Amino acid sequence: MLNRIILIGRLTQDPELRYTPSGTPVAHFTLAVDRPRLNQMGERETDFINIVVWQKLGELCAQYLRKGRLAAVEGRLQIRSYENREGQRVRVAEVVADNVRFLDRAGDREGGPSAPPASGSGWPEEARTRSTGMDDPFEGDATRIDISEDDLPF
Amino acid sequence: MLNRIILIGRLTQDPELRYTPSGTPVAHFTLAVDRPRLNQMGERETDFINIVVWQKLGELCAQYLRKGRLAAVEGRLQIRSYENREGQRVRVAEVVADNVRFLDRAGDREGGPSAPPASGSGWPEEARTRSTGMDDPFEGDATRIDISEDDLPF
Amino acid sequence: MLNRIILIGRLTQDPELRYTPSGTPVAHFTLAVDRPRLNQMGERETDFINIVVWQKLGELCAQYLRKGRLAAVEGRLQIRSYENREGQRVRVAEVVADNVRFLDRAGDREGGPSAPPASGSGWPEEARTRSTGMDDPFEGDATRIDISEDDLPF
Amino acid sequence: MLNRIILIGRLTQDPELRYTPSGTPVAHFTLAVDRPRLNQMGERETDFINIVVWQKLGELCAQYLRKGRLAAVEGRLQIRSYENREGQRVRVAEVVADNVRFLDRAGDREGGPSAPPASGSGWPEEARTRSTGMDDPFEGDATRIDISEDDLPF
DNA sequence: TTTT
DNA sequence: TTTT
């Protein structure tokens, strides 16, 4: 009846952008969120939380977020349940985001296969307000992989 | 760095109260939280979210919450990771609650082994404000099962 | 850049439903939200928080919520600033809700000018899922008062 | 019964640190939080939200936060009501924070009377985890102004 | 101005 | 009274 979660953390990898057979974009990434206090051994613990972002906001995440970057994510916690190849019931927790904020410009740790395009310099503070002047900003950047309709949120 | 979730839903079963070897109480229950919209087949979907409540608040949940009751839960999302007997890595999502509100008096669906004690009539609107006049409210009510120290949150 | 608030409390009065000159419905009510702990004098304190709900969700609030009822409100905190007749700058805090849950059926304290229509018995658990079969559910129930365009949220 | 707000925004001024007569530290600052969408005139609007932070967390805010810096604030919305010198009832909204995250290192726009102490170089990512090795970090830095006991949150 |  |  009410389900709201807000996280701030850093991406463990670059976002992965896919498309449903009907062409709906969806981005996946994992956020590393440090726990507020140390555990019994005095170690810092971290929760690695899977994030799913649909539609244009997902494309913006794929375009602007990179491994190591700090982001705020707002959405709802969803428990997806399916059977694996061994017939076991597996439950997957993920946050379906409807709001994502890009919180730093990161240390420009670029390089490697998933670095931002050299021509791309902009790093908008707010993904959502950016809604103009994009023809096909992801061409050549995101990998196009089809995913199952079962992952559709609507 | 920031991790906050707020849920409203109904308990799928009575809470289960256990104690760590050192005597710390911890309650477990599952909250059924309906999704805001119907899926493609026009069905209502529900997320079943595991809740963990430590200390006195956990005891209050065990005392006052029952299957079917409506509750608001506030806390943080934690992903616990462990290896099962087959050596597979299993990830369990659960919400560690630090605030729980009891939101209805429920339809007095009493009866069965885990019904509230006959002498207990009160159903406090707010668990947290209730902090007086309890000697050992759970004696004979809750099952005492030891859990691993690994589950300790501190 | 991110602004999210979630409240649970009781209405101090029935909601007031108005319309902008262009016909947009907007409901106003105040939520009494008890503070989590007593003050220095051992008294319970309460925050009275103004809620604004636009569009169809506002109409549903006007239809189903009444003085004394328990509700969960999710939205964003807005500080409206204007000059009063004495030329003083006044700042008004209000929560613009985009999600409202009706959490009890209340003691059917009906009667008086703003009681629900006698023919209306339903009390939907979730306002948002109710989106069918309403032609003009508030006719004769809500007072039609025009408000300034300045109050428009878009 | 439940009152939770999470904000991300920038400080409009340096925090102001005061002490109650009994020595409790309390920091005040204002967060500028942009609204998610433009208004009818196509202008970006901003809410200026007053934040109050008590105790050690308040001291950390006074030490590390500066005008223009980005912060995440978690707490509860409180409506304080008092009579002004003209005998009018004034209502003040403020967020009492129990968690503050410092989200950027800002462009080291130092200089002026409220710049960080020259000897202080550290900018901890998380205020809360910093709890060691501070004897009196604010001496000579913060202004010591007594405030009324009425502002005490406990 | 205030709710249970 | 306001931040980038």
Q: How far apart are CA C31 and CA C94, in angstroms?
A: 11
Q: How far apart are CA B76 and CA B79, in angstroms?
A: 10
Name B126's bridge partners: B101
Helix (H) or strand (E) holding A48: strand A46-54
Length D63 CA → F4 C1' (Å) = 21
* Long-range Cβ contact pairs of B140-143 (< 8 A, separation 24 or more): B141/B62, B141/B63, B141/B117, B142/B17, B142/B59, B142/B62, B143/B16, B143/B17, B143/B18
Tokens of B149: 């120290």
Four-point Cα dihedral A30, A33, A35, A41, nearest 10: 60
SS3 D40: coil
Average predicted confidence (pLDDT) for chain C: 78
Does the beta-carbon distance from C49 to D77 stay under 8 Å? yes
Length D88 CA → E1 C1' (Å) = 14
Which one, of C38, A69, A79, C99, lies nearest residue D154 by Cα?
A: C38
Distances (CA, A) of B144 to B29, B127, B139, B152, D108: 15, 21, 9, 16, 56
The answer, yes or no, to whether residue D134 has pLDDT greater than 90, is no
Query: Max CA-CA distance within chain B?
Result: 52
Tokens of D68: 């223009």
Sort out which chain C residues have CB atoms less than 8 A from D84's CB and list them: none
- Mean pLDDT, range A20-45, rounded to an integer: 94
Q: How far apart are CA A10 and CA A29, in angstroms?
A: 10
Distance between A113 CA and the closest CA of chain B, angstroms: 28
Q: Which residue has the higher pLDDT, B141 or C94?
A: C94
Tokens of A135: 């023809």
Which one, of A79, C72, A88, lies nearest residue B12 by Cα?
A: A79
Say if B103 is an interface residue toward chain A (CB within 8 Å).
Answer: no
pLDDT tens, position by position, C27-62: 999 999 999 999 989 999 999 999 999 999 999 999
Amino acid of residue C77: L
**Phi, psi at B112, each rounded to 5°:** 90, 175
The nucleotide minimizing the C1' distance to residue D28's CA is F2
Sort out which chain A residues have CB atoms less than 8 A from C126's CB and list them: 1
Sequential pLDDT tens for chain B (154 residues): 899 999 999 999 999 999 999 999 999 999 999 999 999 899 999 999 999 999 999 999 999 999 999 999 999 999 988 888 888 888 999 999 999 999 987 444 343 334 343 333 344 444 433 333 333 332 333 344 445 444 444 4
pLDDT tens, position by position, A102-142: 998 644 434 333 434 333 344 444 444 333 333 333 233 33
Among the ranges given (A98-102, C24-28, D147-151), the one the predictor scored with the smallest mean pLDDT = D147-151
Q: Which residue has the higher pLDDT, A71 or B84?
A: A71
The answer, yes or no, to whether residue D5 has pLDDT greater than 70, is yes
Q: List, as one string, the DSSP characters of C60-119.
A: HHHHH--TT-EEEEEEEEEEEEEE-TTS-EEEEEEEEEEEEEE---TT----STTPPPTT
The residue that minimises its CA distance to C1' of E1 is: C12
Q: List, as one string, the DSSP characters of A28-40.
A: EEEEEEE-SS--T
Distances (CA, A) of A96 to A26, A154, C86, C137, D19: 10, 12, 48, 34, 43
CATH number of B5-36+44-102, picked from 2.70.98.20, 3.40.1160.10, 3.40.50.620, 2.40.50.140: 2.40.50.140
Q: How far apart are CA B137 and CA B121, in angstroms?
A: 13
Does the beta-carbon distance from B4 to D74 stay under 8 Å? yes
SS3 D51: strand
- Of the candidates D37, D70, D128, the beta carbon closest to that of A103 is on D70
Tokens of C7: 């409240």
Tokens of D28: 């005040």
pLDDT number for residue A108: 41
Residue ranges covered by each domain of chain D:
5-36+44-102
Q: How far apart are CA B57 and CA B97, in angstroms?
A: 9
Per-window interface: D 41-70 vs A, CB < 8 A: 70
The pLDDT-based confidence of A81 (bands split at 50, 70, 90) is confident
Sort out which chain C residues have CB atoms less than 8 A from D152's CB and list them: 40
Length D12 CA → F1 C1' (Å) = 10
The nucleotide minimizing the C1' distance to residue C44's CA is E4
Per-window interface: A 6-45 vs C, CB < 8 A: 6
**Beta strands per DSSP E along chain B:** 2-11, 16-19, 25-34, 46-54, 70-83, 89-102
This prediction's pTM:
0.78
